[in-house]
């Protein structure tokens, strides 16, 4: 974490005048008016510039004038109270000109506020408090601004708050609770929902009459539902029960149940909706929501999903599926590898669902250049809007970033949200997700279209290059299946990223991204190879790849026999560089997969079916599957997933190798063996895509 610099900073000698600030600000507002629909960028944190969020109440801090602010300083133990004297310029943040009680003016830039908050674009005249403000240079000389990165570091003050200095105090804009209620209704009709919440809050604070407050709580609950602020919506709905007419009790339970559903808390939702249904059995909306909630509970209990229907429902505009998470086959516990891990709660057979999890957070953004920023922004917003997410999300591994222990706690009415911790958690735990894995296996699909998401349960899994599970995606649902038999109590591993063929490349990647060296059996065993042998294998792999890349099978004319013989020779040389004592007991030989796959394609083009079988079986062995080399040895490919031990890697290349085997056996008149290979390929394709799919998808 970057250290603060109070010891080496000073109050600037010269600042722009209020008039200069307002004049410059007006040019930005004019530009904004000319492009009202311009997309709003996201200011993503730079971890080298990290500083902690304030964890103290504004009422515990020393309030200082703007003139006391020191450049490039985080003013610990201090706060400022200012009034916005300009409309906001809205870009990556909201920039306003603000004034303190002494007439000092400065720029205030507020970032990372959710759209549900008035602070995302502070209206002129509002009074805000900034806790432990960060004052920084804004580019040119004598140009500064107050920068608020953490959303909980700035508080919107009520107009009657006694902490507001007298010169900034306007007094209540409206006189009565009824006036505030009407203002809230007007804002709601105009779809200015943050303002509606603010007005309803003022109405509630201005009255102590439960019979008046009850319908206001109902209105605010409905507004918070629209904003996706489900925690507040649920609390408001239940608060409306006090003082409300008995005939409207059903509405309170109905709204509270819908809010719990929005939080994916289906058991609580079902309980609340059942109460609503008992009070109003003929209401079609309650009936519909109750049935929907029961469907989610059934999924959570049984793990039964209609995956083809889920896939068919996806559109470019909607990838968020209305489904529950099936997690009961697993449990999170301490791991001997990296802190926590995920363990099997019962015996699981190869191919069986381990768990299915709905994303905790996943934006519908499949542009690789924007996906990370979109996930970061969504996470910050949801942590602000729904503090109940703090425990599962902020409980994830955050690397070496120092925590205060106050993250997610409510201070001054808002949850403490440290954006640098959020970004650290995001980078350590997010998964890249295609819209659907089955579509991603199609050759015609454009590459690189990946969203980013957080799946809290899946994030508890540790990495293993030779993992015993495989994940796939349908929209925002992650499907994890067992790639081999797993015993109760056994730890479940996944591949964080596609596994590199060379052990040094694999671990260099992991060390940079996650800060650990892989301890799976493959990596540990391969490290026993002398450095000189590792270097020779790397050199030999580069040599064979260079020849293969010059002529790719299936791309035009047949591959010349001379080229095939050269690749076979180089592949044999590469294979001979794998030490017998290291690569015993079926240890995968990942460096041989690419040239062997190339040879399968080359011999397929020349209809040399015997050679296709030879090299396709070698591909399977290179992935760690027990496949006999001798043609005369009986072998059933359908059993290889459960009989090959714990050193197998599963990828779509295994499926393709089995298909090539089936084609070659069929061409040689061995129909029974071809049928077994097809069945094994279908099973493997289910592991890759998450559910049973037609193998012909691989050709589209």
Whether 80 and 128 have beta carbons less than 8 Å apart is answered as no
Domain boundary among 143, 168, 193: 168
Token pair recorded at residue 680: 């094994």
pLDDT at 1 over 70: no
H helices of 454-592, where? Answer: 456-459, 503-513, 521-526, 531-550, 561-576
Compute the residue count for the chain: 700
Phi-psi region of 562 (alpha: psi -120 to 50; beta: other; left: phi over 0): alpha
Q: Are residues 186 and 227 in the same domain?
A: yes
Nearest to 590 by CA among 640, 567, 616, 624: 624
pLDDT value at position 557? 79
E strand or H helix that includes residue 89? strand 89-90
Token pair recorded at residue 83: 């009034």
pLDDT value at position 5? 43
CA-CA distance, 192 to 196, in Å (whole number)? 6
Task: Give the mean model confidence (pLDDT) for residues 202-227.
Answer: 96
What does the radius of gyration of the chain's CA atoms come to, in whole angstroms?
31
For the chain, percent of residues with pLDDT exceeding 70: 96
| Cα–Cα distance list, 680 to 486, 657, 687 (Å) | 19, 10, 11
Whether 301 and 240 have beta carbons less than 8 Å apart is answered as no
DSSP classification of residue 651? -
CA 221 to chain centre: 28
The enclosing domain of 294 has a CATH number of: 1.25.40.10
3-state helix, strand, coil in the chain (%, to 5): 45, 15, 40
* Structural domains of the chain, count: 4
Token pair recorded at residue 12: 């600037």
DSSP classification of residue 593? H
Q: What residue has token string 């203002």?
A: 183
pLDDT at 507 over 90: no
Strands 78-84 and 127-131: antiparallel
**Residue 142: inside a domain:** yes
Residue 513: band (very low, low, confident or very high) from pLDDT cuts 50, 70, 90: low
State the burial class of residue 581 (Cβ atoms within 10 Å of its Cβ: 0-12, 13-18, 19+): exposed
E strand or H helix that includes residue 342? strand 340-344
Q: Are residues 265 and 347 in the same domain?
A: no
pLDDT value at position 521? 87
The strand pairing partners of 493, in sequence order, are 462
pLDDT value at position 448? 67
pLDDT tens readout for residues 435-479: 999 998 887 766 668 999 999 999 999 999 999 999 999 999 999
**Residue 638: inside a domain:** yes
Q: Are residues 82 and 151 in the same domain?
A: yes
Q: Are residues 378 and 480 in the same domain?
A: yes
Q: What residue has token string 């109070």?
A: 6
pLDDT tens readout for residues 372-430: 999 999 999 999 999 999 999 999 999 889 999 999 999 999 999 999 999 999 999 99
CA-CA distance, 696 to 680, in Å (whole number)? 15
Query: Model-level pTM?
Result: 0.93
CA-CA distance, 435 to 474, in Å (whole number)? 6
Token pair recorded at residue 687: 């592991």
Task: Give the mean model confidence (pLDDT) for residues 254-272.
Answer: 98
**Residue 103: inside a domain:** yes
**Residue 189: inside a domain:** yes
Whether 361 and 264 have beta carbons less than 8 Å apart is answered as no
pLDDT value at position 584? 81
CA-CA distance, 520 to 494, in Å (whole number)? 11
**Residue 308: inside a domain:** no
Task: Give the mean model confidence (pLDDT) for residues 589-600.
Answer: 96
**Residue 521: inside a domain:** no
Q: What are the φ and ψ backbone dihedral angles of 564, each rounded to 5 degrees?
A: -60, -45
Token pair recorded at residue 610: 């015997």
Better pLDDT: 510 or 65 = 65
Task: Give the mean model confidence (pLDDT) for residues 651-668.
Answer: 96
pLDDT value at position 116? 93
Residue 42: band (very low, low, confident or very high) from pLDDT cuts 50, 70, 90: confident
Work out the end-to-end distance of the chain between its first and last CA atoms, rounded to an integer number of angstroms.
49
Q: Are residues 558 and 653 in the same domain?
A: yes
Q: Are residues 385 and 408 in the same domain?
A: yes
Strands 462-463 and 491-494: parallel
Q: Are residues 141 and 220 in the same domain?
A: no
**Residue 96: inside a domain:** yes
The enclosing domain of 145 has a CATH number of: 2.40.50.140
DSSP classification of residue 56? S
State the burial class of residue 561 (Cβ atoms within 10 Å of its Cβ: 0-12, 13-18, 19+): exposed
pLDDT value at position 509? 63
Whether 687 and 351 have beta carbons less than 8 Å apart is answered as yes
> What is the widest separation between alpha-carbon atoms in the chain?
95
Q: Are residues 332 and 382 in the same domain?
A: yes
pLDDT value at position 512? 64
Expressed as residue numbers, the domain containing 38 is 6-168
| Mean pLDDT of all residues belonging to the chain | 92
Whether 582 and 529 have beta carbons less than 8 Å apart is answered as yes
CA-CA distance, 177 to 258, in Å (whole number)? 28
Q: Are residues 382 and 479 in the same domain?
A: yes
Q: What residue has token string 């539902």?
A: 225
CA-CA distance, 287 to 197, in Å (whole number)? 28
pLDDT at 149 over 90: yes
Whether 414 and 442 have beta carbons less than 8 Å apart is answered as no
Domain boundary among 445, 471, 504: 504
CA-CA distance, 656 to 698, in Å (whole number)? 8
The enclosing domain of 374 has a CATH number of: 3.90.1410.10
E strand or H helix that includes residue 609? helix 609-622
State the burial class of residue 9 (Cβ atoms within 10 Å of its Cβ: 0-12, 13-18, 19+): middle
**Residue 560: inside a domain:** yes
Domain boundary among 168, 187, 209: 168
Q: Are residues 128 and 234 in the same domain?
A: no
Q: Are residues 249 and 357 in the same domain?
A: no
| Angle (nearest 5°) at CA 535 between 533 and 540 | 95
| Cα–Cα distance list, 196 to 176, 227, 254, 442, 618 (Å) | 16, 11, 21, 48, 67
Whether 323 and 293 have beta carbons less than 8 Å apart is answered as no
Q: Are residues 338 and 480 in the same domain?
A: yes
pLDDT tens readout for residues 344-383: 999 999 999 999 999 999 999 998 889 999 999 999 999 9
The enclosing domain of 677 has a CATH number of: 1.25.40
pLDDT at 556 over 90: no
pLDDT value at position 175? 81
Residue 6: band (very low, low, confident or very high) from pLDDT cuts 50, 70, 90: very low
């Amino acid at each position: 974490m970057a250290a603060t610099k109070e010891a080496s900073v000073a109050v600037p000698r010269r600042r722009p005048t209020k008039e200069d600030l307002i004049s410059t600000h007006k040019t930005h507002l004019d530009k904004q008016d000319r492009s009202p629909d311009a997309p709003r960028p996201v200011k993503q944190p730079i971890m080298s510039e990290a500083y902690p969020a304030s964890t103290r109440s504004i009422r515990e801090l020393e309030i200082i004038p703007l003139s006391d602010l020191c450049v490039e300083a985080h003013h610990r133990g201090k706060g400022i109270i200012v009034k916005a004297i300009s409309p906001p310029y809205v870009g990556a943040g909201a920039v306003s000109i603000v004034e303190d009680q002494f007439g000092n003016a400065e720029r205030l830039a507020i970032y990372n506020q959710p759209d549900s908050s008035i602070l995302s674009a502070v209206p002129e005249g509002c009074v805000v408090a900034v806790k432990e403000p960060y004052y920084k240079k804004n580019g040119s000389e004598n140009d500064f601004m107050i920068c608020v990165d953490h959303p909980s570091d700035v508080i919107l003050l009520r107009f009657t708050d006694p902490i507001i200095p007298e010169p900034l105090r306007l007094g209540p804009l409206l006189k009565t609770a009824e006036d505030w209620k009407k203002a809230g209704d007007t804002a709601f009709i105009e779809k200015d929902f943050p303002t509606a919440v603010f007005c309803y809050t003022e109405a509630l604070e201005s009255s102590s009459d439960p019979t008046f407050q009850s319908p206001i709580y109902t209105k605010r609950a409905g507004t918070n539902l629209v904003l996706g602020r489900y925690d507040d919506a649920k609390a408001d709905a239940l608060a409306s029960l006090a003082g409300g007419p008995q005939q409207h009790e059903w509405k309170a339970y109905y709204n509270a149940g819908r809010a719990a559903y929005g939080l994916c808390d289906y058991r609580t939702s079902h309980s609340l909706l059942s109460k609503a249904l008992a009070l109003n059995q003929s209401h079609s909306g309650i009936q519909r929501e109750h049935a929907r909630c029961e469907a989610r509970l059934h999924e959570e209990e049984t793990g039964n999903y209609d995956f083809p229907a889920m896939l068919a429902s996806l559109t470019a505009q909607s990838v968020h599926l209305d489904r529950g998470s099936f997690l009961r086959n697993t449990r999170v516990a301490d791991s001997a590898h990296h802190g926590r891990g995920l363990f099997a709660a019962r015996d699981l057979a190869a191919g069986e669902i381990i768990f299915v999890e709905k994303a905790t957070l996943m934006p519908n953004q499949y542009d690789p250049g924007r996906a990370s920023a979109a996930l970061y922004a969504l996470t910050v917003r949801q942590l602000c809007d729904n503090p109940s997410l703090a425990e599962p999300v902020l409980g994830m591994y955050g690397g070496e970033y120092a925590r205060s222990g106050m993250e997610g706690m409510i201070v001054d009415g808002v949850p403490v949200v440290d954006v640098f911790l959020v970004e650290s958690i995001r980078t350590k735990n997010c998964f890249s997700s295609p819209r659907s894995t089955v579509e991603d296996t199609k050759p015609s699909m454009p590459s690189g279209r990946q969203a980013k998401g957080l799946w809290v349960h899946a994030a508890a899994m540790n990495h293993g290059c030779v993992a015993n599970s495989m994940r796939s995606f349908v929209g925002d649902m992650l499907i994890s299946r067992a790639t081999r038999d797993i015993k109760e109590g056994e730890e479940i591993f996944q591949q964080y990223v596609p596994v590199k063929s060379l052990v040094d490349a694999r671990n260099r990647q992991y060390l940079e991204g996650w800060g650990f060296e892989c301890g799976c059996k493959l990596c540990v065993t391969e490290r026993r190879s002398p450095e000189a042998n590792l270097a020779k294998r790397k050199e030999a792999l580069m040599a064979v790849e260079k020849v293969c890349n010059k002529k790719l099978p299936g791309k035009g004319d047949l591959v010349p026999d001379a080229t095939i013989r050269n690749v076979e020779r180089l592949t044999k040389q590469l294979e001979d560089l794998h030490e017998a004592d290291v690569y015993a007991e079926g240890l995968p030989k990942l460096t041989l997969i690419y040239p062997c796959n190339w040879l399968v394609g080359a011999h397929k083009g020349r209809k040399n079916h015997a050679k296709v079988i030879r090299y396709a079986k070698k591909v399977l062995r290179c992935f760690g599957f027990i496949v006999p080399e001798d043609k005369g040895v009986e072998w059933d490919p359908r059993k290889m997933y459960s009989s090959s031990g714990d050193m197998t890697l599963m990828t779509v290349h295994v499926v393709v190798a089995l298909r090539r085997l089936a084609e070659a056996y069929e061409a040689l008149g061995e129909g029974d063996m071809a049928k077994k290979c097809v069945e094994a390929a279908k099973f493997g394709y289910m592991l890759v895509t998450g559910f049973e799919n037609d193998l012909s998808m691989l050709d589209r």
